[in-house]
Amino acid sequence: MELLQAVHGYQFFGAWAKLTPTPYAMVTLVLFIWSIAPALKGVVRSGFTFWLRITWFFTLLPAVTGIILALSGRAVPSATAAAGGLTKYGFEPDPSRNWEHWMYSAFALLSLYVLEVLVRGKLIEHKTGLRFLPVVTLFLYGVAYMVGRVAVLPGSTPGT
């Protein structure tokens, strides 16, 4: 169980942590930057598709480990009191953050599905759909950032 927690909760520290607190946020930030070229050129190259698959991996790895941890009764650190009544990060526990963590995870999966639809050009004309890639990938990066933030920091309702 400790290995699952380590894989699920890995975070960066230092200067980069403000921009990309987790590996997942870093991968989605790269995807956002990379999505600008297909949006401008109107063509998706194999490198972007490959990075989209890597993003899927970095989405599903914490999702699967998170489901396993949740089924074993665990919640996000910001929702769980450790020694002394505070979270392991030294904040007051906020149980509502557990549901927010799940909400952002669902948004991440939905965003990746939308990206797949845009890249393949199934429901919308391909070149028109590619123009939306930076918008969807920026949203995905924001969601990935919030997944990590919600797990660590308390919200507006700590202790309730």
- Positive or negative torsion for Cα 134, 140, 143, 149: negative
The pLDDT of residue 24: 92
- d(CA 37, CA 47) in angstroms, rounded, equals 11
Residue 159 has pLDDT above 70, yes or no: no
Q: Is 10 helix (H, G, I), strand (E, B) or coil?
A: coil
158 — pLDDT class (breaks 50, 70, 90): low
Q: Does residue 160 have a pLDDT over 70? A: no
With a CB cutoff of 8 Å and minimum separation 6, the contacts of 29 are 19, 20, 141, 144
pLDDT value of position 80:
84
pLDDT at 77: 84
Question: pTM score, two decimals?
Answer: 0.90
Q: Are 128 and 117 in contact (CB under 8 A)?
A: no
What mean pLDDT is predicted for residues 53-64? 94
Contact at 8 Å (CB) between 55 and 27? Answer: yes
Q: What is the pLDDT of residues 6-48, one digit of tens each?
A: 888 787 776 667 788 889 999 999 999 999 999 999 999 999 9
Question: Which tens digits make up the pLDDT trace of 62-117?
Answer: 999 999 988 998 888 888 888 788 888 888 888 888 899 999 999 999 999 999 99
What the block records as the tokens of 88 is 């392991």
pLDDT of 137 strictly over 90: yes
Q: What is the DSSP string of 97-152?
A: HHHHHHHHHHHHHHHHHHHHHHHHTSSS-HHHHHTTHHHHHHHHHHHHHHHHHHHH
Is the pLDDT assigned to residue 3 strictly greater than 90? Answer: no
